[in-house]
Structure 1
Amino acid sequence: MYLMKDITRDGNPVLRKRAAKVEFPLSAADQQLAHDMMEYLIVSQDEKLCKKYGLRAGVGLAAPQVDVSKQMAAVLVPQIDPDAETDKPMFKDVIINPVIVSESVQYGALTEGEGCLSVDKDVPGYVPRHDRITLRYQNTDGQTIKVRLKGYPAIVCQHEIDHLHGVLFYDHINKEHPFEAPHDTIMID
């Protein structure tokens, strides 16, 4: 299981490289990587286990964040609507070779800004991202999946895909006016 000591930190060149495509069928090492990244997210979202292992909670973890320069990321966005009829996650999958095939003109941003397991310091500011995306990726079985995401799950997937292109969330923050977002940006709590 990955621990915080296994997470690649800002400054490591792997975080700024464009990751390589993943070949199918997955090798045993790639299958293990997918499993271990998702396991980190599951454990980190369990309050007791998170504390026990000294983890930082996460909703996404990309392969470059564990020092593997491959186009693979685990995403686990829990259900955040208290009125939802189910605890089923808003989005849960390992996305491999992901491509955003379409995106909304409208932006969305998290009111509290974004954080990252690889960035130890707080970087205040809005991170404008597309509010809606259509994402195409392969799952661990090699099936091609096409899914439309909106709001928080769309933001999380864009953050993880950025990792596969050597981009960190704070690259999107307006340096002069960090709390200024494009006109009509939907603010997400």
Structure 2
Amino acid sequence: MQLSRSYIVDAALEILDTYGFADMTMRRVATQLGVAPGALYWHISNKQELVAAIAEAIIEPIGVRLATTPLSPDELCTSLREFLLHHRDGAEVVAAAMSQPQSAVRLKIFEAVTSSISEYFDTQILSPSDIEAAATGLTHLTVGAAALHQAGLQFAEATGEEFDADNEWQSQNAVRLLLAGLRMKELESQNGK
């Protein structure tokens, strides 16, 4: 096997799914690949870059899905949540990557959500700041709710306490309410109010 960025990301995803974000270290990834930790740095500069690369791999299916099927904003948020929850601590990894300056992951998600809003709402009526606020709200709501879902599930597993199964419904309802508010703003603007 020739070491490459994609092999490193695949190994890190495997560690993430098995052990979680806290145990996904550069040293553990190197051990998984059977190389010295220094060998990773030819392909990935530091853990922050690794987190960003893993986050891009987690959200990559969104771009693939959007290339074949236009999604409404609520369908996009549901898909994003699905991809985040597909990997243990996936939402936490994506949130960590989004917090990095000039985050490519944050930009990709924001652009996808903004594009979806633009397809389903009248951008001639809504102001750019309204669209930006809605895209930001939907992104933060979806990633944050998925992170809380995963943390709650892990807490329930560790303590034996019951898991709040209403989390997904509440998240989807919150997305719909935000979009209903945007639709109301659009209608008010159309009617000149």
Shorter-chain TM-score range:
0.3 to 0.5
Instruction: Give the greater-gyration-radius structure (CA).
Output: 2
> Which has the bigger relative contact order, CA under 8 A and spacing at least 6?
1
Give the number of the structure whose residues are more often strand, by fraction. 1
TM value normalised by structure 1: 0.34
Give the number of the structure whose residues are more often helix, by fraction. 2
